[in-house]
Amino acid sequence: MAETSTPTSTPLSAHGIQAKGEVHWNLNTDVLVDISLSRNEGILSAHGALVTETGERTGRSPNDKYIVDEASTHDDVNWGDVNVSTDLATFERMRAQVVDFLSEQDALFVQDLACGAEPSEALPIRVITHNAWHSTFARNMFIRPSDEDLASHTPEFTVFHAPHFEADDDALNSQCFVIVNYAAGEV
């Protein structure tokens, strides 16, 4: 495994990922756009913006979103058509498959970011994906910590993003899924 940039204090192995390919840590947007272009993940518009295609899923997939129903958050979730429960066993089974899938990729892109603009309230997060352009999206969506804060960044919530992974599990409605486990701090 080759790494570009410097990993923060929490290695990928803490998430169970044993990367076979390159791991790109907290690359800046310009570098990520260049990598996206070199990997044919997108093109530049006439105005210089990165343009990508999402494939058959162009937006939310509301029937494929689940929340692990567990004791510490059960009473805080408004269960129903929007917030659909799943069990811990399904989460663990799908998590293991996604971690294996990510481990086998030729490249991973890791962004250590924060959710929330107020520094004292911000939630440190990590986004792990196998597409450079998704890493660019994450940098745009969330707050980028200072270099000083990044050195000691410890994610409290981790997003395992594997858009090319196709699930085959009777507990799910389709090959696409999002499962949030608040107790584990993982999606």
Give me the mean pLDDT over the 109-123 stretch: 94
Cα dihedral sign, 121-183-23-109:
negative
- Which of 105, 128, 125 lies closest to 116, judged by CA? 125
Average pLDDT, the chain: 91
**Average pLDDT of 106-123?**
94
Query: Which tens digit of pLDDT belongs to each residue from 83-114?
Result: 999 999 999 999 999 999 999 999 999 999 99
The pTM (predicted TM-score) of the whole model is 0.92
Query: Which whole number is the average pLDDT over 56-77?
Result: 86
Output the pLDDT for position 6: 64
For the segment 32-56, what is each residue's pLDDT rounded down to a tens digit?
999 999 999 999 999 999 999 877 7
Domains of the chain by start residue, with CATH: 3-54+61-180 (3.40.449.10)
Q: Is 2 exposed, middle or buried (0-12, 13-18, 19+ CB in 10 A)?
A: exposed
In this predicted structure, the answer to whether residue 2 has a pLDDT above a threshold of 60 is no
Per-residue pLDDT of 137-158, as tens digits, reads: 999 999 999 888 888 889 999 9
Instruction: In whole angstroms, give the CA distance from residue 35 to residue 137.
Output: 14
